[in-house]
Amino acid sequence: MRYFIMVLLMTYSLTTTQGQNQWEEIKSVKDVCLAYPDKMKEMLNQFDLSLPELAEVKKNVDNNDIVSACTALLAHYKTKYPQAQDFPTQPSSETTDSGEDLIKDIFVFYTIKDEVPRDAKNRLQWDYEGPDNDIEWAWALNRHFPLLGVLTSFQKTGNIKYADYMDQFIKDWIFQSWPYPAKKSNTAMWRGLEVSFRAKAWSKVFTYFANSDLISPATKLLILASIPDHAHYSRSFHNQNNWLTMEISGLATVATTWPEYQKSKEWLEYSIATMTESLKAQLYPDGVQTELSSHYHKTARSNFVLFENICQANNISLPSFFTESVEDMWNYHATSIRPTGYGILNNDSDLDYNRDLVMKYSEKYDRRDWQYIVSNGEIGERPSGPPSVIYPWAGQLISRSDYDEMAHWSFFDIGPWGTGHQHNDKLHLSITAYGRDLIVDGGRFAYRGEIADKFRSYAKGSQSHNTVIIDQKGQGPGPKLTEEPLPSSHYSIDDERDWAWSSMDHYPGINGNASHTRTVQYERDAFWVVVDQIQTDRPRDITTFWHWHPDCEVDLGKNNVVSSQNQVGNLQIIPIQSKDWTVDLVKGQSSPEIQGWYSSKYNTYEANTAAIYNSHIDKSKTFVWLLMPSKDEVQPAKVKILAMDENHIKLKIKYLKKKHIVTVPLPVMVEK
C-alpha cells in the first residue's frame, strides 16, 4: 500500500510539473499535497507546532499525515479569521468596469495601460515590462496591486469569477517563483519592494477569504508555503532609508498576520527595532524626511503609519519617539500644503493632493491648527504667529499671505541636496496665488522607458527649475545630509515679511570660480523680491529660468516683463535691470535641447512656457527681480532701485495706487 502511494505521488508530481496546464487544476488540499509533498512538509515545519491552537496540526504531522495536517491548519485560520461583515452573502453576475479589465489581464501602472501576455500553459508573463519596456511596469505587476482591485470588485458585486481570478493569479505567481533564490535581487519577481507589497496584498486576500473556499485551499497553502520566503527576503536583504520602511512594514505584516510561524516573534522584534532606528536616521528634527522629496516623505510616512497601525492592532507598544516623530511627519504635510490642497512638487515628486489625508489625521492627533490650514480657515483653530514656516534642517521656506483658498504661497529651497531622488535645484522658487499654480518645478517625468529617455536628464537638471545656470552649466550635487540646521542668519519670519537666502558654488564644467547667492523676500500679501548675486573671477554668461504652469497664458511685454494672462490668478516677472537681459519664451522644445516641459505625476508630461533670461557679465553682479501677483488682469508696476550697497538694496514699488518702500538685506558683498 505504501509503495502504491509513493508511485501515485511521483506520477502526480511529474504530470503536474511537466504536464500542460494542470497547475490550474490544483485546488484541494489533497491536490497540492500530491503535487508538492516536499513543499507542504517544509511549509508545516515552518510553524510552531507547540502552540495549543495547532495541536491538531502537530498530531497529524507526527503521524506523517500531510493532508490532514494541512486541513487542520486551514481550519485553524477559519477560526482565527471569521468571515468579514462585507463578505457577499450570495453569488452575483454583477460586474465592474475595472474588474472586467483586470480579469482580462489588462492593468494600468504609472498611467500606462497594457495587457500582460500568457504562455502556452496559460501562465502570466511576470517579467513583462509593458509597452514602453520599462522594468518599473513589471515591478508594479509583481507587487500584486491588481489583486486589491479585483478584491474590491468582488466585495462590490459578489461575482465569483473575481475570486477565481485572484485564486489563479496568486497560484500562477507562486508556481513560477519557485525555487526561491534566497539572494538579493533586482528581478521582476524578487526585489525588496515587490516582496513587501506582495506580502501585504496576500495578507488582505488570505484573511478575507479564510472562511471561504472561493480562494481554494490549495492556493491558501501555497501562500503559507511562500510567505516564509518573503519574510526571509525582507529580513535578510532589505535596503535602507525610504525603501527600508516599505520593506520592513511588509515583514511586520507577515509577522502579525501569521504569528504561528516559528520565526514570527523574531521578525516582529527585528521590525520594531529596525523601523525605530530607521525613523531616527531618516527624519530631521523639523519633521522632514531626509530625501527632501515631498512625495517620498509621503511614502515614508505612509509606511511608518502602516507599521504603527499594525502594532496598535496587535497591542504592541512602540517607543514614544516613534509616535511623536510620525506626528511630526504629518505636521510637515499640514504646514507646507498649498491653498489648493496639494503638497510641494520638488525633487522626484508627484503633485500629491494631501488635504483629505491631513484632515483625517488631524482628528487622531487633535490638531485643530492643521484643520484650519487645510480647510482654508473654515474649521479648526488658527495657528499662532505669522502664516509662513521655515524648516531649518530641510532648508525649505514656505511663505503665505494667509490661509484662505486665494492666498499667496511659495516654496524656496535653500537646503541640502537630499539622500535620494535628488534634483540639482538649489535656490529654486515655486509660486501659487489666487487658486492657481503660477511658477512651477518641472516634476519627475519617469525613471525608465521612453519618457525617461527623453526627459530624465531635464527633470533632474537645473534647467527645469527656477534658478540660475552659469556659462550654460547647471548645478552639480551638493551635500546629501546636513549635521545642523540653517543658522538664524539665513532666514527671518515676522508679521510683515519673510526673508531667506543661500548660495550655490558647484557648477561642474565651468572654468574658474563662480557662485550664485539668492535672497528671497516676501512682503506679506503683496509680492516677492528676488535678489540674485553672481560672484565670479571672470566674464560669464548668466541664464535665469522662470517656468510657468501649463495652464498659464504667458506674454512677453515691455521692458522684458513676462506675465500671465489668465482670467483669475496672474503674476508678473519684472527684471529691475531690464536692459541687462535678453528674453526667450520657450514651450515644448525638443531640439537643440529639452526645455519647456512639465510633469505633475509619474509618466505624464505636457508643454509649459519657460521664460529664459540671458545676460553676459564682465564681473560680479547683482540682479533684482520683482514677482508681482494679481487676482485679475495685470497692471503695470513701477519699480526703482533707490540704493544698493554691500549690505542692502532699497526699492520703491508702485502698483495699483499703492507705494511700497522695501529694503532687502544682502548676505554677501558683490559689485553693483
**549, part of any domain:** yes
**328, part of any domain:** yes
The verdict on 359 and 458 lying in the same domain is no
- 91 falls in which pLDDT band (50, 70, 90)? confident
The verdict on 513 and 632 lying in the same domain is yes
**671, part of any domain:** no
pLDDT tens by residue, 144-162: 999 999 999 999 999 999 9
Q: Which of 40, 61, 78 is the last residue of a domain?
A: 78
Predicted local confidence at residue 668, as pLDDT: 63
Q: What residue type is 222 in one-letter code? A: L
User: What is the total residue count of the chain?
Assistant: 672
**242, part of any domain:** no
- Cβ neighbours of residue 111 closer than 8 Å, sequence gap 6 or more: 601, 602, 603, 604
**672, part of any domain:** no
- 314 falls in which pLDDT band (50, 70, 90)? confident
Predicted local confidence at residue 21, as pLDDT: 66
Mean pLDDT of 525-554: 97
The verdict on 501 and 645 lying in the same domain is yes
Q: What is the mean pLDDT of the chain?
A: 94
The verdict on 359 and 395 lying in the same domain is no
The verdict on 97 and 108 lying in the same domain is yes
Hey, how many other C-beta atoms are within 10 angstroms of the C-beta on 515? 17
For residue 610, what is the domain's CATH number? 2.70.98.70
**200, part of any domain:** yes
pLDDT tens by residue, 561-606: 999 999 999 999 999 999 999 999 999 999 999 999 999 999 999 9
Mean pLDDT of 285-306: 95
pLDDT(229) > 90:
yes
Question: 132 lies in which domain range?
Answer: 81-237
**541, part of any domain:** yes
Q: Which set of grid coordinates corresponds to residue 295?
A: 512625495
The verdict on 209 and 261 lying in the same domain is no
Q: Which of 44, 60, 78 is the last residue of a domain?
A: 78
Q: Which carries the bigger pLDDT value, residue 314 or residue 16? A: 314
The verdict on 86 and 73 lying in the same domain is no
Integer angstrom CA distances of residue 269 from 201, 208, 228, 255, 258: 22, 26, 16, 9, 14
* DSSP H or E run through 295: helix 294-313
Predicted local confidence at residue 588, as pLDDT: 98
Mean pLDDT of 654-660: 92
pTM: predicted TM-score of the whole model, two decimal places: 0.82
Q: CA-CA distance, 445 to 392, in Å (whole number)? A: 28
Assess contact for 591 and 454: CB atoms under 8 A.
Answer: no
Number of domains the chain contains: 4
The verdict on 63 and 115 lying in the same domain is no
pLDDT tens by residue, 660-670: 999 999 986 54
- 432 falls in which pLDDT band (50, 70, 90)? very high
- 38 falls in which pLDDT band (50, 70, 90)? very high
Mean pLDDT of 201-226: 97
Predicted local confidence at residue 313, as pLDDT: 86
Predicted local confidence at residue 5, as pLDDT: 38
pLDDT(17) > 80:
no
The verdict on 116 and 60 lying in the same domain is no
For residue 375, what is the domain's CATH number? 1.50.10.100
Q: Which of 23, 50, 78 is the last residue of a domain?
A: 78
Integer angstrom CA distances of residue 295 from 91, 173, 436: 41, 30, 20
The verdict on 465 and 423 lying in the same domain is yes
pLDDT(32) > 60:
yes
**304, part of any domain:** yes
The verdict on 124 and 29 lying in the same domain is no
pLDDT(15) > 60:
no
- 501 falls in which pLDDT band (50, 70, 90)? very high
pLDDT(522) > 80:
yes
Q: CA-CA distance, 72 to 56, in Å (whole number)? A: 6
The verdict on 188 and 253 lying in the same domain is no
* DSSP H or E run through 432: strand 429-433
Q: CA-CA distance, 433 to 412, in Å (whole number)? A: 15
Q: Which carries the bigger pLDDT value, residue 132 or residue 179? A: 179
Integer angstrom CA distances of residue 249 from 184, 303, 579: 18, 6, 57
Mean pLDDT of 287-292: 96
- Cβ neighbours of residue 519 closer than 8 Å, sequence gap 6 or more: 499, 500, 501, 530, 531, 533, 664, 665, 666, 667
Query: At 541, is the secondary structure helix, strand, or coil?
Result: strand
